[in-house]
Amino acid sequence: MSNNYATPTAATTALFGILALLWGCHSTDAFQLDGHVTDEAGCANAIPVVWNDNVFQHDGTVDGLTDAAFFNVPVMSAGSWLLVDTFNDQIVGPTFDPVVSILNATGTQRLAMVDRVALWQSEDPHFHYHLADTQSLCIKIESFSRWTHSYAAAQMPDAPLAYSFQLSLNPDKDTIYEPETDVVAENPFTDSTPLTLSASEDNPDAGYHWLHGVLNTAQDADVYSFTSLNMETITDIFVNGETGIGDPYGGVSGIGTTAQITLQLIDADETIVAELSPDRIKPVLSAVLAPNSRYYIRVTGAPDWMPGQNNFYNLYLASESVQNFDMETASDNNTLDNATKVNLTAGESGSYSGIVIGTLETETDVDVFQIALTPGQMFMLQCLGASSGSGLQNLTVGTFEANGTRVRADIEKNTPIEWSTGPNSTRGPLWADDYEDLYLRISGDYRRSPLSRFYQCYILVMDEAY
C-alpha cells in the first residue's frame, strides 16, 4: 500500500459549503393552497416571477404538510438554463422537507420533480434545468409528505412552515456556463473545452467547476480539459441529478433530462483513469490526481442510449489536496498489528463519522484500518471502488476482531458495499459486542482499464441510545 488517507469528515460533499449562492431580489408574498388543489388550479393562481438581474427569491410559508405554493416563470428561450434552489428558514418558523416540481405553464405536464440530488444530500433541492423549447413554466413547492401522498401518517408540525426559494435564470448559457464542445471530430482532445478550477477563499488548496452540456445525438461526445492543482488531489466529479421526470409515489427524483451518460476521466496519455456508467448507483466519479498534470473529462451517451427530447447533463468537479484529508504516512498497514487508526469525529445525537480513502498499488496490496468501538454501538459503512469509477474490481471489505476472528465480509458488485438500514444496503449494520476495536481489511482485483486503483469507505457509528 503506498497511499492511504483518513479524514474525520462524514463525506467529501461536506467540503462544498463554498457554493452558497448570492441572494437577489426578495419577494415575501405568501401564497398557500389547500392540499387537495390540482396543479392546474395552482398554476392558474401562481405568484408571478419578476426577475431582478436574472434572479428571483421568495421567502414564504405554507400552512402545513398538505399545502403547496406555485410560481409562474415568464417565457424563457430554448437553450436557457434555470437554477432552482431552496433553503429551509429555521429562523422564521418550523421547517419541512421541500420538493420542487417544474410543470408547464398550465400545470398539465410534469417536466421535473426533485427532492434531493447527489451533490448535496440535504433536504433542500438544488439543481439546474435546461429548456429544450421556448416556453413559460410553473414551479410548485410542497412538502415531501404531500409529494409522496404520505401526509396522512405524518406528524403534523405547527404551522406555518417556513421556506426560502430562489430561481436564477441564465438565458445565455455561454456567458454563465462553459459551452460544451461537440467533438465527433478527428481529435477530440485537441478540440476540448478548457476549464480553470476556481478555489474558495477559505480553502486555497481546492478547485471547483460546474459543467453543463447537451448531447445532441447518440454519437455526440463532449470533452473538457483542465490542469490539476499544484499538489496531489482527491477529485470528485458529481453527476448532479437523476434522469427522468420523477415519480411521487416511489419518492424518485428526476431533473427532467432524457440523457443517460457515460463519464470518463482521462490523463494526458489518453488513458482512462476512471469511468462511470449509468448502471452505477453512486453518482460520483472519484480519483487521486497527480499535481500539475493535464486531464480530460469525456461525456458520451451510454451504450444503446437513444436521445430524447431534452438531453442535458449537470456535472460538478471538486478537487482538493490530499493533505486536507490527513494523509497517512504509514506504508505497510497490511496486517492487524500495523493497522492505520481512524479518528472518528463526534456529531449530533451520539453519532461519530469518518472516511478512509486510499489506493491499492499492487494486485496483492491490502489495507487495514483500526476503528475504536464501545459495546452497544451500531457500526455502518459504505465502500466504493468500481462504483465510483475505479479500476478495482470485486472490492472486498472484511471486518475482524483484534484476535483475528472474522466478523463479516462483503464484495462490491454493481452497487456500493453498504451496511445500513437504508434501501440500498447490501447487509445490515454491525453491533459492537464484546470487542473494543474493529479492524477493516480492504482488498480487490485489478482490471486493465480504468487505470485508477482508488477506493473510499464512509463510516458512521451510533451510540445505542441514539
Confidence band for 249, pLDDT divided at 50, 70 and 90: confident
Q: What is the pLDDT of residue 164?
A: 67
**In the predicted structure, residue 20 carries a pLDDT above the cut 80:** no
For cell 443517460, the residue is 260
Segment 304-323 shows an average pLDDT of 89
Average pLDDT over residues 290-313: 92
d(CA 77, CA 54): 13
pLDDT, average across residues 96-123: 83
pLDDT tens figures, 387-408? 899 999 899 999 999 889 999 9
| pLDDT tens-place string over residues 116-158 | 766 655 567 888 899 999 999 999 988 877 887 766 555 665 6
- Residue-level pLDDT at 446: 80
- Mean predicted lDDT score pLDDT of the chain: 79
The full set of domains in the chain, from first to last, is 3-13+330-462 (2.60.120.380), 31-172 (2.60.120.380), 177-325 (2.60.120.380)
pLDDT digits 0-9 by tens, 410-462: 999 888 999 998 878 999 999 887 667 899 999 999 877 788 889 989 899 99
* Cβ 206 vs Cβ 320: under 8 Å: yes
* CA–CA separation, 202 and 207 (whole Å): 12
Query: Residue 342 and residue 344: Cα distance in Å, rounded?
Result: 6
More confident residue, 83 or 162: 83
Range 29-51 average pLDDT:
76
Residue 332 pLDDT greater than 60, yes or no: yes
Q: Order of strands across the sheet with 393-400?
A: 340-341, 367-372, 437-445, 393-400, 406-411
Alpha-carbon span 125 to 151, nearest angstrom? 20
Mean pLDDT confidence for 20-34: 34
**Which pLDDT score, from 0 to 100, does residue 189 have?**
76
pLDDT tens, position by position, 52-61: 888 888 877 7
For 334-376, write each residue's pLDDT tens digit. 788 888 888 888 887 788 988 888 888 888 889 999 999 988 8
Predicted pLDDT at 174: 43
348: CB partners within 8 A, 6+ apart? none
Q: What is the mean pLDDT of residues 3-11?
A: 37
Looking at the chain, the whole-number percentage of residues with pLDDT higher than 90 is 33
Does this model's pTM top 0.85?
no
